[in-house]
Amino acid sequence: MTVTANEKPVPGGNFVKVELDDGIAWVKLNRPEKRNAMSVGLAEEMVKVLDDLEIDDRCGVVILTGEGEAFSAGMDLKDFFRATDNVSDIERMRAYRSTRAWQWRMLMHYAKPTIAMVNGWCFGGAFTPLICCDLAIASDDAVFGLSEINWGVIPGGVVSKAISTLMNDRKAMYYVMTGEKFGGKMAEQLGLVNESVPADRLRERTTELARILLAKNPTVLRQARMAYKYVREMTWEESAEYLTAKADQTTFIDPEKGREKGLSQFLDDKTFRPGHGTYIREG
Ligand code: COA
């Protein structure tokens, strides 16, 4: 954990590096010499970092990325797999719990928007946090792979479930069964990332996207993200009931009163046309 000029500590430690820049929290997996392979220590640190940033006013958007040439080479084969082979059930359970906590439970329902910026190697277990971020941008020269089949394991953890939420079955099965690698453009075609851009545009484009999100009404943005994620698991009837209640809740809790202001700008003042311009926030 480092300390800024105003003495408020910046979250992070040995394995996770955080940089705060004008509303954006750059959260970096920070084991470049191990291609950011995810160890037990990294998982424990990441849980704390995400927990701290969620209530840190300096963070409006999280960008998850990797230090050095990798996004992440997946689960650490030594400091996660081998390290949990010969420990007590309780220690093993705790290691799995930290990993599950940050890679999908926290990211999937995180209070702030999240973008994965895939800057390089992205293998196996790294697909889970990638998919559980709201949005993702890759470098054209990033390399993705479900390599598990090539060294005697299945895409476990929760990788197989994660890919089934974004990839179609034929494509997902193809990569599960062949372990073939693919690049950023293919990741875009497969729906794993929103866009793939040249390496020298990656940071700029990801920052641009984060700035778009930072300009939105944060309460409504959070409610919209949550609503979308929850309805994926619901029936149409349940979704209709839930979304109506969620919309009412959003209106009720929004300190900016965005709905009333938006309606007024459109209907009364005629200063805003959703199809033409941008709602003028005063918050
Ligand atoms: N687990 C543990 N250590 C890993 C790792 C992983 N998943 N991925 C890389 N490392 C370590 C290497 O063992 C090496 O450590 P060392 O310096 O102590 O020998 C170091 O990171 C650098 O890796 P190296 O293979 O030399 O780098 P590279 O740039 O030539 O290749 C990769 C990078 C990512 C292509 C290659 O390391 C690789 O294939 N990793 C495994 C990817 C994988 O299958 N992950 C799935 C796990 S679920």
| End-to-end Cα separation, the chain, in angstroms | 32
Residues 230 and 260 in one domain: yes
Question: For residues 155-186, b (16+ Cβ closer than 10 Å) or e, as one string?
Answer: bebbbbebbeebbeeebbeebbeebeebebbb
Q: Is 84 within the bounds of a domain? A: yes
For residues 41-67, give the mean pLDDT.
Answer: 98
**Is there a domain that residue 11 lies in?**
no
Closest CA to 73 of 146, 124, 26, 118: 124
CA-CA distance, 84 to 265, in Å (whole number)?
58
Atom of ligand 1 at shortest distance to CA of 79?
A: 2
Domain boundary among 152, 182, 214: 214
For the chain, give me the number of helices (H) and strands (E)? 12, 12
In this prediction, residues 81-87 reach a mean pLDDT of 90
Q: What is the pTM of this model?
A: 0.96
> Is 116 within a domain?
yes
- In this structure, the answer to whether residues 170 and 263 fall within a common structural domain is no
pLDDT at position 116, please? 99
> How far, in Å, CA of 56 to CA of 24, rounded?
11
Q: Residues 261, 156: one domain?
A: no
> Mind listing the pLDDT tens digit for each residue in 154-202?
999 999 999 999 999 999 999 999 999 999 999 999 999 999 999 999 9
Q: Is residue 252 domain-resident?
A: yes
User: Closest residue (by CA) to atom 35 of ligand 1?
Assistant: 121
Q: Cα–Cα distances in Å, from 176 out to 80, 116, 163? A: 21, 22, 10
User: In whole numbers, what is the pLDDT of the chain averaged over residues?
Assistant: 95
The answer to whether 174 touches 155, Cβ cutoff 8 Å, is: no
Kindly state whether residues 64 and 151 are assigned to the same domain.
yes
**Could you give the CA distance from residue 37 to residue 42 in angstroms, rounded to a whole number?**
9
**Partner residues linked to 136 by β-bridges:** 116
Does any ligand 1 atom lie closer than 6 A to the CB of residue 34?
A: yes
CATH number for the domain including 71? 3.90.226.10
Domain contains 223: yes
Among the candidates 199, 214, 229, a domain finishes at 214
Are residues 209 and 223 both part of a single domain? no
- The confidence score (pLDDT) of residue 279 equals 86
In a domain, 4, yes or no: no
Domain count, the chain: 2
Q: Which atom of ligand 1 is nearest to the CA of 34?
A: 21
Clarify whether residues 96 and 182 are in a common domain: yes
Minimum CA distance residue for ligand 1 atom 28: 35
Domain hosting residue 249, numbered range: 218-268
Given a cut of 60, whether residue 131 has pLDDT beyond it is yes
Give the containing element (helix H, strand E) for 61: strand 59-66
CA of 77, closest atom in ligand 1: 1
User: 176 lies in a domain?
Assistant: yes
Is residue 93 assigned to a domain?
yes
Q: Which tokens go with 131? A: 């998919």
| 32 contact partners, CB below 8 Å, separation of at least 6 | 66, 67, 68, 69, 70
pLDDT (mean) for 96-113: 97
